[in-house]
Structure 1
Amino acid sequence: MKVSQLYVYPIKSLRPTALSEAILTPRGFPYDRCFMLLKVEAGENGSPSTLKNMHIPHFSEMSLFQTDIEFPKTDNDCGRVIVTHRSPGSRESQKLEVPLQPDVAGLEPLQIVMHRSPTTGYDMGAQYNEWFSERFGYAVKLAYLGSHSREVLGTLAPGKRKKSLPLPGWTLMSTEGIGKWLNPMLATAIAAKAICMIQEAVQEKPPLINAAFLFAVLAPVAVTVSYLLSTHSPEDRITFADCAPYLLISETSVSNVSARLPEGEEMDRTKFRPNIVVSGAENAFEEEFWSTLTVGPDLTRLFLRGNCVRCQSLNVDFTTGQIGTDESGNVLKKLMKDRRVDRGAKYSPVFGRYSFLDPAGAGTRICVGDEVGVSQKSAERTVFDWPGLSN
């Protein structure tokens, strides 16, 4: 199998920028979903206005905006996102250039919550807000994430522990069982005893501080540090992406969807919003049993941790910015027939896999044409787990 396409979405829910290569980071491709749009909703009875997250299933007109990226060429160049908007039926287009790495000094901070995972963004200001507002026909703000990020909720990320695990036998002393408390305490007891023995050997008299006192002082610290290390890891953070740093799909599975459309029509793979597209899979949807992939000459590992459950965005007609009126507007319904295969989201069809980078691969490069291998499979499908989103 090979990497056939790479995509980055500098502004969430707008059309993507295709790449021939990209740098892998624990939080996704650089500049992926680093901006998002928010609708300004007027308050009632004199109350302040509120901001509503804009996602393509609810704001299908977002599909009329195409993005391209000019990456920084020098240390003093911040790069730019070039946004192109074309109204349905129009031959003319309008363009806006947005700095890819804006200076946030002086920008108003915004509190943004996506899928119950909060973060802070920055209001890009009137120049950009007014351009988007004019094209949407209602007030909109463009938000920049900056150096902030969001937590991956549930157990999707590799650093997250399972919520419910059996405790009998050997698992009692694992970090997943009661061992997450006993292990640091046991280590502290051994360390305290060793310190006292060394002190006694050096001084040739009883130690000034006994092992029991050292244990009482150090054990709470050890347990706290162990807990923090086990529950918080650097790869467990994301941008304005929905649930994971990467979304991976298979060309073979896209072809399966195309076969459900009238003869001669093909499913636009970008409607699935992938970052990485893999070609050469033998069977459609076999990726749902892939656990670990290796990519490129460095055999960089990607951990496939969850299924992507689908919504109305698959039915959007990119030429009109509306829900399709022909068979392309029934893609979600077609997938409902046999793709509701995740018991964590039993009312939604599955297509694609949420993926995370092995931290050891941070900084490596992925290219179109790179070989892809399956190094680990699972006997069962994963279960979607994001608090408040599972159904």
Structure 2
Amino acid sequence: MKISELYVYPIKSLRPTKITEGKLTKLGFRYDRRFMLLKVIPGENENGSGPTLKNMHIPEYPEMGLFQTEIEEAKGESEGDTSRLIVTYNPPSSSDTKDNTESSDSEDSQARRLEIPLEPETATLKPFTVTMHSSPTTGYDMGSRYNDWFSACFGYPVVLAYLGTNTRSVLGTLAPAKRNNESWWRIWKQELVLPSNGHGNKMLNQWLVPFSLGYLVLNAVSWCHGRIENGTSSPAVAIGVTALALTVLWTVVNILVNRRHEARIGFADCAPFLVISQTSVDDVSGRLDGGVEVDLTKFRPNVVVEGAEVAFEEDFWAELAVGSNGNAGAGKDSKVKLLLTGNCVRCQSLNVDFSTGKMGTGEAGSVLKKLMKDRRVDRGARFSPVFGRYSFLGGEGIGERIRVGDEVVVLRKGEEYTVTGKSASEAWNVILTTGY
């Protein structure tokens, strides 16, 4: 199998940017879901301090499908300062509505095109709390220049929020450590090894942190022994102080290790990546009458894999290795591992017509219904069909890049369908209305 398509969604729920290669971060592809839109609801909020902001998702606001995004990355060392996002608004065509004022094509084009810095300076932006599915984070109001443009397109006031360096907790049991019930030793083993990223001595990177901790422990024991030998402290006091020091050291390091290992997300609803199979997309298209082909971007994937032998075999994928074009290929030694932890249950977003900004009619508007017949395979989400898998990045993959054409190998499979557990019930219930 290999990667056939890659997508980034710079602004949540708007249409994606198709890319040929993507840089991997803990939060997904670089620039993925770095922004989101919130509708301004007039009136005072529960604190009596002004209007309420409501998170916008395409099933509830299908007009979001009228916005196309494009990333223009700068070349050279200053790319973080000048890379930009181009948003184009494509209003639905109508034969019975015409502009009352004459304007040139260039003026009309400029009015429907907006440039946004991909890494804006947050020092001058107003921070505010963005809560997604009871998981809060901090966003930054991009200001009137951008808010007014989107508001004019939507026809109601909205706010464009930027994530910055902030993150959120992962819902339910989707995080790899929770899904796999990882032991504390496995977590420590992963986190105490320094990432090499192709640099430095492999043995030094592997043993530097454990050796340093061992050195601290031996020093504490040596101090205790010295106090007892010299009679400076009684054995009980020396041992007690040493035990207390080691307990504090263990507690602090354990907190730091677990915090580093904890999976985090940004403005994505549930996971950094969504993986789907082209074979499964073709299966859905085959269910539609009249030769209608489903637009796979309605499934909002980040990674599309082609070459699967049967449709929906990805239901059982638990771990994938992705190999670079320049290397021998994917395998156990590949740095890029995608950990597939849960099903993506689907909602009305599959029925949105991107050309009209409304729910589709005919076959194009029946995708969800077609899947309801046989794709309700998750016992934890009995009333929703499953399509695609939520995925997290293995630790060594941070900073790497994956490309269209890269080989994909299944390293690990589950024997049964993934079940959305009770602790994750909030997650899938939210998906019913957000569409990821």
TM-score above 0.5, yes or no: yes
Q: CA deviation at 1:243?
A: 0.6
1:13–1:55 CA contact under 8 A, matched in 2: yes
Give the 3-state SS of the residue equivalent to 2:350 in structure 1: helix
From 258, 263, 271, the counterpart of 2:285: 258
What corresponds to 1:82 in structure 2?
86
Corresponding residue number in structure 2 for 1:168: none
Distance 2:345 2:254 in 1: 31
Residue 371 of structure 1: CA displacement? 0.5
Q: CA deviation at 1:263?
A: 3.0
Contact 1:57-1:311 within 8 A present in 2 as well: yes
Q: Distance in 1 between matches of 2:301 and 2:316?
A: 18
Please identify, of 18-27 and 152-161, the stretch whose mean Cα deviation from structure 2 is larger.
152-161
**Secondary structure of 2:26 counterpart:** coil
- The aligned counterpart of 2:163 is 145
Which residue of the partner structure matches residue 154 of structure 2?
136
Which residue matches 1:339? 375
Aligned to 1:116: 134
CA contact (8 A) 1:159 1:231 kept: no
Identical-pair percentage: 57
User: SS of the residue aligned with 1:62?
Assistant: helix
Mark the CA change 1:195 to 1:95 in structure 2 (over 3 Å): closer, same or farther.
same
Question: CA contact under 8 A between 2:380 and 2:425: conserved in structure 1?
Answer: no
**8 A Cα contact 2:342 2:389, kept in partner:** yes
C-alpha distance in 2, partners of 1:153/1:337? 27
- Residue 43 (structure 1) aligned with residue 10 (structure 2): no
1:268 corresponding residue in structure 2? 295
Structure 2 CA distance, aligned partners of 1:387 and 1:199?
A: 56
Partner of 2:62: 60
**SS in structure 2 opposite 1:52?**
strand
Whole-angstrom CA distance in 2 between matches of 1:345 and 1:223: 40
Alignment-mate amino acid for residue 285 of structure 1: F
1:317 aligns with 2:353: yes
Q: Return the offset for 1:134.
A: 0.6
How far apart are 1:383 and its partner, in Å? 2.1
* 8 A contact 2:224–2:242 mirrored in 1: no
Q: Any residues of structure 2 matched to 1:187-198 within 5 Å, and which? A: 195=222, 198=225
Alignment partner, residue 184 of structure 1 = none
Deviating more after overlay: 355-364 vs 154-163: 154-163
Matching of residues 181-220 of structure 1 within 5 Å: 195=222, 198-199=225-226, 203=229, 208-210=234-236, 212-214=239-241, 216-218=243-245, 220=247
Alignment TM-score, normalising by the size of structure 1: 0.86
SS at match of 2:3: strand
Q: Is the 8 A contact 2:345 2:387 kept in 1?
A: yes
1:388 aligns with 2:388: no
Q: 1:183 matched to which residue of 2?
A: none
- Deviation by residue 1:288-319 (Cα, 9 ceiling, x = unmatched): 11111110136221111111111110010111
CA distance in structure 2 between the aligned counterparts of 1:390 and 1:30, rounded to whole angstroms: 25
Partner of 2:208: none
Q: Give how far 1:56 is off.
A: 0.5
Instruction: Write the distance in 2 (CA, Å) between the matches of 1:247 and 1:191.
Output: 46
Measured after TM superposition, the shift of residue 33 of structure 1 is 0.3
Change in 2 beyond 3 A, CA 1:384/1:207:
same
* Equivalent in the alignment of 1:19: 19
Worse-matched range after superposition: 243-252 or 293-302: 293-302
Verify the 8 A CA contact 1:235 1:359 in the aligned structure 2: no
User: In the aligned structure 1, how far is the partner of 2:171 from the partner of 2:239?
Assistant: 39
Quick check: 2:172–2:426 contact (8 Å CA) kept in 1?
no
Contact 1:111 1:120 in 2 (8 A): yes
**1:49 & 1:368 partners in 2: Cα distance?**
44
**Partners in 2 of 1:123 and 1:196 — Cα distance?**
54
Q: Secondary structure at 1:320's aligned position in 2? A: coil
Q: Judging changes above 3 Å, is the alpha-carbon distance between structure 1 residues 144 and 9 closer, same or farther for their aligned structure 2 residues? A: same
Structure 2: tracts of 5 or more residues without a match: 95-104, 188-213, 328-333, 430-436
- When the two structures are aligned, how many residues end up with a matched partner? 371
Structure 2 contact 83–117 (Cα < 8 Å) conserved: yes
Against the structure 1 CA distance between its residues 347 and 218, is the aligned structure 2 distance closer, same or farther, given a 3 Å change threshold? farther
Q: Deviations over 1:241-272 (max 9, x none)?
A: 11111100000010111111113111111000
Correspondence for 2:101:
none
Counterpart AA for 1:88: P
TM-score, normalised with respect to structure 2: 0.78
| Distance change in 2, residues 1:19/1:235 (3 Å) | farther
Unaligned runs of 5+ in 1: 166-170, 177-186
Match of 1:359 among 377, 395, 420: 395
Deviation (angstroms), 1:331: 1.1
